[in-house]
Amino acid sequence: MLNNAKQAIQNGLAYVTEDRKSAGLNLIDSIMRNIAIAGLEKISRKMVIDENREIQVAEEYRKKLDIKSSTVLQKAGNLSGGNQQKVVLSKWIFTGPDVLILDEPTRGIDVGAKYEIYMIINKLAEEGKSVILISSELPEILGMCDRIYVMNEGRIVGELDKSTASQESIMKCIMNSTREVY
């Protein structure tokens, strides 16, 4: 049983919230601090942060995830939505999770940034990470997922693999579940 974020991180679990602005980022702090905050034990010793290491890690993720900014000292709130999302992803990828839960990872970002986020997700999966994608966008689910669990009213009402999943089969699961309730 996991009781807090620290325990989740220690057990290889990370959660990217759907609300990056109020729960995923500290908008008035730097890109560097936002990336480092969840993995402080990786850049500190005896409760003292190695600032050079913090900058190095932030620069590494800025390059790796193509975060468009002038410097890692730039405030996260001054970034575009897509770049803010990349900072949130960087923060959690830096913790080294085995399982990454992404809740609406492309909400509120432009088409180009969505594509970049999809590429990051695919790369994580190729590296052997388990990615759980929560999305209300059917095209996103159909394009990104190997297995789809359909939920309705807080219950799993269907399981589909990539080869059998379609908008119609997903809607059928939902429609069948509403008939069972009434």
pTM over 0.85: yes
- Provide the CA 106 distance to its chain's centre, in angstroms: 9
pLDDT of residue 52 exceeding 90: yes
Return the pLDDT at 177.
86
Q: Are strands 48-49 and 147-152 parallel, antiparallel or unpaired?
A: unpaired
Query: The domain 13-138: what is its CATH number?
Result: 3.40.50.300
Return the pLDDT at 62.
98
Inter-residue contact 102 to 132 (CB < 8 Å): yes
**Of the candidates 109, 107, 110, the residue with the CA atom closest to the CA atom of residue 19:** 107
pLDDT 10s digits, 65-98: 999 999 999 999 999 999 999 999 999 999 999 9
Q: In what order do the strands lie in the sheet containing 99-103?
A: 13-16, 99-103, 130-134
pLDDT of residue 163 exceeding 90: yes
pLDDT of residue 2 exceeding 50: yes
The Cβ of residue 92 has, within 10 Å, a number of other Cβ atoms equal to 22
Return the pLDDT at 180.
57
At position 73, the amino acid (one-letter code) is L
Band of residue 182 on the pLDDT scale cut at 50, 70, 90: very low
Return the pLDDT at 178.
79
The CATH 3.40.50.300 portion of the chain extends over 13-138
Rounded CA-CA distance 114/85 in Å is 10
Average pLDDT over residues 109-124: 96
pLDDT 10s digits, 9-32: 999 999 999 999 999 999 999 999
